[in-house]
Amino acid sequence: MSERSAPGMAFWEDAAEDEAHQRYRTLLRTIGDGIFQLDVEGRFVAVNDVIAELTGYAYDELLGEGIADVLDTDGSAIEREIERLRTNPAEQSGLLEVPVRTADENLVLCEIRVNPFDEDESLRGAVGTVREISRRDRTELDWRKQHREFEYEGESYEITRDLQESEERLRLALQAGELGMWELDLQTRESPVRSPQHDRIFGYEQPREEWSFEIFLEHVHPEDREFVEHSFEEAFETGTWEFDCRITRADEEQRWIAAQGEFYYDTDGEPVRAIGVVQDVTEQKENEKYLEDAKSRLEAATEAGAVGTWEWHVPDDRIVVGASFADQFGIDPDAAREGVPLEQFVSSIHEADRERVREKIETAVETCGEYEAEYRVRNADDELRWVVARGHVECDENGNPLTFPGTLTDITDRKRAELEAENQSRQLETLFQVLPVGAVVADGDGTLLKANDVAEEIWGGDVFDAESVEEYDKYSAVWADTGEPVDPEEWTMAQVLRGESVTDPNVYEIHAFDGERRIIMEHGKPVRNAAGDVIRAIVTLTDITERKTYEQRLEESNERLEQFAYAASHDLQEPLRMITSYLELLERRYGDDLDEDAEEFIGFAVAGADRMREMIDGLLDYARVDTKGEPFEPVDLDGVLDETLDTLRMKIDESGAEIAAESLPRVRGDETQLRQLFQNLLSNAMEYSGDGAPRIRVEAERVGETWAVAVRDEGIGIDADEQDRVFDVFERLHGREEHPGTGIGLALCERIVERHGGEIRVESEPGEGTTFTFTLPAV
């Protein structure tokens, strides 16, 4: 240590130092702060190697120099702090942030803490610590290694201060810093010696009377306890320990500490004592966590489309960005790395957004505030992209803007999704308003959210201003089929809010607020979230007053038609039976006396009576489609077709017909009437097949909530101007001599299909065949 010797430190290096001396020497080696001692004139009389390394001066250059000339560029801040503490010894040591000028003329920002010491009220000097702010995250282990190297390079020093005085000054230095020292007797596992700062780190305002390794472990977080014990066990082999762990202080506060230390051995090599330091590093850990989170956020931002960062040097109007950032604005990356005027970037912004962005930039610069803007920009490929820019303006103490750093993120995908969602929302809102039916939406808690114009017209005014469906009791209604009052729990909305889907509509008769009585039909469906809870209830309303009136009139007409058909069948059947009976009697009694013409005339009369009877029976079937039908239920059309083919088996065999069918669906309907429908259509197809054997195909196709069933033949077809007449009652397109029949079969088919809520149509070309297609409700 000849060139780097520090005579002021000689009291640490005497070969004859006692055990206490060695303990404090070891402690000094483990301290990461620079430590100094001043005389009464403010000159260095002792420094450690941290200060030498920090300043770049040799140790012999530091000793004897004034602290203001070396550490204090202000020239007086440290002297004022010493004077303040000397005159007010009860006050705590102050922490100064001072720029220190090094030997190579660099400035290093440091924290300096000083404590004066006196004797008989006379100032004898001061001790203190120095810490470089930019190196707070360096571990004490790094410093200790540097200290060890320094110690072994030099030679032993002469003690220049009384040992007791030196130990006292070191104690004051420890009190001025953030380190807590403790000594552990490995035989008793107790700690008889600790610095006041040690106990304060563990949350004790006053020093504890007792301390031991077990008490220390009680403070250690349970999840770290095993790790700490293992670290001490390893220290028996290595001689040193170093670790970070969490502790629970006496005031229940959770903190992080860093611990370091060494073991000391007896002459037999057995460890007898341990000396260590602890330091509260919670702030450092939080900073590390913050940096880690910031890094994660930055990585996430990059993955999410972050383009990069910028820094605008405001006074000389020079904005510096990376290549990807420049590319986003269509600017030469090489020029952007050197810096270009801000206007080059602003001019690339979409003209509709440009002025708004300029105003935001100007406001941030004028106020030294935050900046955030969302806008469109054309990149190097002339593609329009959406970006969001965020930054803040840094100003000097006079409020003059210096730099304007920030980040840019590409949000094109997100913005397109938002715009698409807004567009869909507008479309849905428009659709909601133009629906031909009324629509009402409620929240999952029953709050009425909206109703369209049709719903308000049905109820005769703006009646959906209620806050909740609980106010439904103000709406007056009865069940349309029974006339019984509708209970509040029976409203469609109440059912849907309970999670029910109302597909079989509720039909009410309401007394609307405009004084009219209307019959309405309501359907409803709940909307659920991922957990299955009802979050919306949607109800549609249809005014079916006119339809119900029509149905009522139709029902009355059907009743009158049935009465007529019954009367006709009853009143006409008897005369027809009489005519037929007397003709048959005449033929049996006088058959031998009748010539051929008379027998032919009698045959014509009997055949006419039979046709009249068939027509009356057909008319009666036609009239009774609605009144004598069975309730609708699921019907398998494959089974219906098979039964129909069995019924027509003789006719099929006689005609040589080939009937092919796809697999047919299940529908809701009256099985008996559907069997009649297939029988009439298949019979009709075989009758009008022409000269060849009938070729018939039956197939089905799903159309929304219905099935469309088609019966196709390759027969003689129907002229276009005659197709509208085929479903009329008693309408015949051919003479009875060519094709017998009553003229009611297709009319009956139409009536059956209409009862099932469907429709039937015909498509045909003369000579190319005919297709009858009808719709039935799907199951």
Alpha-carbon distance of 493 to 508, in angstroms, equals: 13
Q: Are 469 and 484 in contact (CB under 8 A)?
A: no
Q: Are 685 and 694 in contact (CB under 8 A)?
A: yes
Tokens of 337: 């790395």
What is the per-residue pLDDT across 692-705, written as a single tens digit (0 to 9) for each?
889 999 999 999 99
Helix (H) or strand (E) holding 761: strand 760-765
What pLDDT score was predicted for residue 308? Answer: 75
**SS3 assignment, position 312:** strand
Task: Give the contacts of 434 (CB within 8 A, at least 6 positions apart).
Answer: none
Read off the pLDDT of each residue in 42-55 and give the average, rounded to a whole number.
Answer: 84
The dihedral formed by the CA atoms of 68, 73, 74 and 78, expressed in degrees to the nearest 10: -40
Q: Are 766 and 640 in contact (CB under 8 A)?
A: no
**SS3 assignment, position 551:** helix
Evaluate if residue 261 carries a pLDDT over 90: no
Task: Give the contacts of 641 (CB within 8 A, at least 6 positions apart).
Answer: 661, 664, 678, 698
Alpha-carbon distance of 583 to 575, in angstroms, equals: 12
Is pLDDT larger for residue 281 or for residue 94? Answer: 281
Q: How confident is the model at residue 587 (pLDDT cuts 50, 70, 90)?
A: confident
Conformation bin of residue 161: beta by default, left when phi > 0, alpha when psi is -120 to 50: beta
What pLDDT score was predicted for residue 708? Answer: 96
Q: In 272-340, which residue ranges form alpha helices assigned H by DSSP? A: 282-303, 323-328, 333-338
Is pLDDT larger for residue 380 or for residue 710? Answer: 710
Q: Are 756 and 776 in contact (CB under 8 A)?
A: yes
Q: Are 709 and 773 in contact (CB under 8 A)?
A: yes
> CA angle 368-371-372, nearest 5°?
170
What is the per-residue pLDDT across 326-374, written as a single tens digit (0 to 9) for each?
887 888 888 888 889 999 889 889 999 999 999 999 999 999 999 999 9
Tokens of 483: 């006339």
Evaluate if residue 182 carries a pLDDT over 80: yes
What pLDDT score was predicted for residue 759? Answer: 93
First-to-last alpha carbon distance for the chain, in angstroms, is: 101
Q: How confident is the model at residue 713 (pLDDT cuts 50, 70, 90)?
A: very high
What pLDDT score was predicted for residue 357? Answer: 94
Q: What is the overall mean pLDDT for the chain? A: 78
Alpha-carbon distance of 15 to 38, in angstroms, equals: 25
Lowest mean pLDDT among 437-446, 470-479, 651-660, 764-773: 470-479
Alpha-carbon distance of 62 to 60, in angstroms, equals: 5
Evaluate if residue 277 carries a pLDDT over 70: yes
Amino acid at 759: E
Task: Give the contacts of 768 (CB within 8 A, at least 6 positions apart).
Answer: 714, 717
Alpha-carbon distance of 8 to 291, in angstroms, equals: 41
Q: Are 51 and 173 in contact (CB under 8 A)?
A: no
Half-sphere exposure (Cβ direction) of 88: Cα atoms closer than 13 Å: 8
Residues written for the chain: 779
What pLDDT score was predicted for residue 425? Answer: 64
Evaluate if residue 751 carries a pLDDT over 50: yes
Residue with structure tokens 């070191």? 170
Tokens of 370: 């935050």
What pLDDT score was predicted for residue 216? Answer: 93
Alpha-carbon distance of 599 to 676, in angstroms, equals: 36
Alpha-carbon distance of 146 to 140, in angstroms, equals: 10
Read off the pLDDT of each residue in 236-260 and give the average, rounded to a whole number.
Answer: 91
3-state secondary structure 464-507: CCCCEHHHHHHCCEEECCCCCECCHHHCHHHHHHCCCCEEEEEE
What pLDDT score was predicted for residue 561? Answer: 67
From the list 245, 260, 268, 271, the residue with the least C-alpha distance to 189 is 271
Residue with structure tokens 């660099």? 106
Alpha-carbon distance of 137 to 258, in angstroms, equals: 12
Read off the pLDDT of each residue in 288-309 and give the average, rounded to a whole number.
Answer: 61
Q: How confident is the model at residue 468 (pLDDT cuts 50, 70, 90)?
A: low
